[in-house]
Structure 1
Amino acid sequence: MTLRKVIFDTDPGVDDAMALLFLHHAPEVELAGITTTFGNGTIDQTTFNALYIAERFGIAAPVARGAGAPLVGAAMAPPDFVHGRNALGDVALPAQLRARADPRPAYRFIIDAVRAAPHEISIVAVGRMTNLALTLREEPGIASLVKEIVVMGGAFGIAGVQGNVTPAAEANIIGDPEAADEIAAADWPITFVGLDVTQKTRMSTDFLADLAEKSGESGHFVWDISRFYEAFHQAGGVSSIYVHDSSAVAYFLKPELFTTRSGAIRVSTDGITRGMTVQKPDTLSYPPGAWDGRPSHRVCTSVDSDGLLDLYRSTLIEAR
């Protein structure tokens, strides 16, 4: 079997950690690297978390430390009320690790990896898009050598879905809107897996308990880190956890679980709509405007939630 090479760009993060294990255990995947960014924690914390997960679960992929702040301005405070103070649900973490980060910054690691395997490496990005924007700024031509990019980010108003940080904006995008707009302007194939579909798939307490029972150490870890995360959802009136980052991994592994729509994408960088993602569908015509001349990208509009959950469950259980 030919393995599919992927770099996982992430800010672990409870749901990031769950998605990383999903990728790690997928038999068809070669994890070529893990790049970190700020978001669910500071860059120090998210890089530590990525190294911890790699060390604990024997993930051989190098970990490269990425951006600690957005392209413009300062980073937003980490949402410790969602992911805990250590961004992994406040589970106990060691004081020190044997694992060390790759000496290259994340954007340089991405460039080097893609140049070494042109048209072979995909990127699944589930944090702020800053590392990808810095990659483009350093070497714009790299876009033509990336096989595909899958982004967990955005909210495109499908079936009335709005943002989760403001009515307009989703967390990964509002964390660095300038970066998100820059990557959407580049001519590399991107699929946005936004709240429009990630909030349609949920993992119940029973689902997570079953993973803990049947999928060994990975399942126990998912259970432990998700206790804080689930409590946050329940306090907000949601009885189960949304499947955000693992939905992006599921699209990468099995895109037939999703329906998509193609068109140019813009990200608002100003005012009360800052962070809003808006697609101009290829099937519709408008007067000349800000979307003209930009490449067409895919946005997920629906998902087979049962199929996604089955894929996650079977991937972790069969890897035991």
Structure 2
Amino acid sequence: MTHKIIIDTDPGVDDAAALLFAHNHPEIDLVGITTIFGNADIDNVTANALFLKQHFGIAAPVARGASRALARANGPSPTHVHGSNGLGDIARSDGAAGAIDPRPAHRFITDCIEDNPGEITLVAVGRLTNLALALNHAPQIAALVKGVVIMGGAFSTAGPNGNVTPVAEANIIGDPEAADQVFSADWPLTAIGLDVTRQVILSREDVAELAQAGPSQALLARLTQGYLDYHARLGIDGCYVHDSSALGYLVRPDLFQMQSGPVRVACDGVARGQTIMADIHTPYPPNRWDDRPHISAAVGVDARAMRALVLEVLGISDQA
């Protein structure tokens, strides 16, 4: 089975791994890369996408996306995690001239879906602004897309919840209005959030082995060093596998345990950015979750098997 996908991304160290995963996996046909502000500003993440496309030998076009959230000023970029340029501050050569698709990302997304009805899966591993803009531009894509898989959110099922605040995950709090709109659309949406992505960890030894596996893997290992140092400050001897886990779900859904229900995103106050799923078995009084579509959220994962899958696709074997 082949999955024809567009990755909406803000490269980003873990985004770089996800791009290599998508490029390498034989069941994934990467037809487009759209960029979104987040791990760095839109200029840097777009340059990063072009650089990675060139270095990894990816044929898919790159389209530049939104530079700011729908309804609020952008927060600061997480330079303490991804470096000032988003790729761990490695030296970055420019992408090929003319490599940017002339359409803004949301138009690229809607055009691809309308030209390939029932075939395109959107894999969004950053803020959800481009997806919200696409829905606003062409609401009919909700009925034409094959599926939507996001890396985002936290549903309080596996220990600590958020990673920006106690309740909010970075991709959601970065544009909560866009996230609430995306969760409310009537399309098949799956959220792979912190509940599972923090269970899948690549060790320092895994990254060191990547460095010996080939030019693409060596680049990935080099730009991951600062990311490893950030995780070490959290007491983790390795790094979480966030964005690649969303692609892992796409090709191996059997590795995940899922929960279904309507989701609202808190857009204001102390809980801003929280993803709140209603318990479908509880008879609540009328509320703001009523008449919302059910989404599927990952609440469990076979972490060992997921790690092994990532290592295999990136080009090394699991020695653990």
Please indicate the TM-score interval, normalised by the length of the shorter structure: over 0.9
Output the CA distance in 2 between the equivalents of 1:63 and 1:89.
Answer: 21
Partner of 2:176: 177
State the match for 2:266 in structure 1. 268
Partners of 1:111 and 1:139 within 8 A in 2: yes
| 3-state SS of paired residue (1:281) | coil
For the structure 1 residues 71 and 103, does the alpha-carbon distance in structure 2 shift closer, same or farther, using more than 3 Å as the test?
same
Alignment of 1:122-201 (within 5 A): 122-201=121-200
After superposition, the Cα gap between the structure-2 partners of 1:62 and 1:95, relative to the gap in structure 1 and judged at 3 Å, is closer
Which stretches in structure 2 are left out of the alignment for 5+ residues?
A: none
Task: Check conservation: 2:260, 2:297, Cα contact below 8 A.
Answer: yes
Counterpart for residue 275 of structure 2: 277
* Shift, 1:95, TM fit: 4.9
Name the CA distance, whole Å, in 1 between partners of 2:66 and 2:259: 30
Residues 222-263 of structure 1, C-alpha deviations (whole Å, 9 max, x = no match): 210110100011122222201111111111111111000000
Deviation, structure 1 residue 99 = 5.2
2:32 matched residue in structure 1: 33
Is the Cα–Cα contact under 8 Å of residues 261 and 281 in structure 1 kept in the other structure? no
Counterparts in 2 of 1:115 and 1:285: CA distance versus 1, 3 Å: same
Say which is worse superposed, 102-111 or 157-166, in terms of deviation.
157-166
Alignment of 1:1-320 (within 5 A): 3-95=2-94, 97-98=96-97, 100-213=99-212, 215-317=213-315
CA contact (8 A) 1:201 1:242 kept: yes
Q: Which has the higher helix share?
A: 1
The answer to whether the Cα contact below 8 Å between 2:186 and 2:293 also exists between their aligned partners in 1 is yes
Three-state SS of the structure 1 residue aligned to 2:278 is: strand
Letter matched to residue 297 of structure 2: V
- Gaps in structure 1 of 5+ consecutive residues: none
Matches of 1:96 and 1:144, distance apart in 2: 35
What is the TM-score with the length of structure 2 in the denominator? 0.96
Structure 1 residue runs of 4 or more that deviate by more than 6 Å after TM superposition: none
Aligned-pair distance for 1:142?
Answer: 0.8
Query: What SS does structure 1 have at the residue aligned with 2:50?
Result: helix
- Computed over aligned residues only, the root mean square deviation of the Cα atoms, in angstroms, reads 1.4
In the alignment, residue 9 of structure 2 is paired with which amino acid? T
Deviations 1:53-86 (A, max 9, x none): 1111211101000000000121111111100111
- 1:147-205 Cα distance to aligned partner (Å, 9 max, x none): 11111001111133311101110000000000000011101011111101111111100
| Contact map agreement 2:47 2:94 (CA 8 A) in 1 | no
Determine the C-alpha separation between the residues in 2 that align with 1:155 and 1:15: 18
Question: One-letter code of the match for 2:108?
Answer: F
TM-score, structure 1 length as denominator? Answer: 0.96
**Conserved? CA contact 1:263–1:279, under 8 Å:** yes
User: In terms of mean alpha carbon deviation, does 195-204 or 153-162 score higher?
Assistant: 153-162
How far apart in 1 are the matches of 2:59 and 2:94?
Answer: 21
Q: Is the 8 A contact 1:55 1:99 kept in 2?
A: no
Q: How many residues align?
A: 317
The alpha carbon displacement at 1:284 in A equals 3.2
Are the equivalent residues in 1 in contact too, given 2:37–2:67 (CA < 8 A)?
yes
- SS state at 2:158 partner: helix
Amino acid at match of 1:254: R
Displacement of 1:96 in angstroms is 5.9
Deviation of the 1:100 alpha carbon: 2.0
Q: Residue 3 of structure 1: CA displacement?
A: 2.7
Query: Aligned equivalents of 1:293 and 1:129: distance in 2?
Result: 22
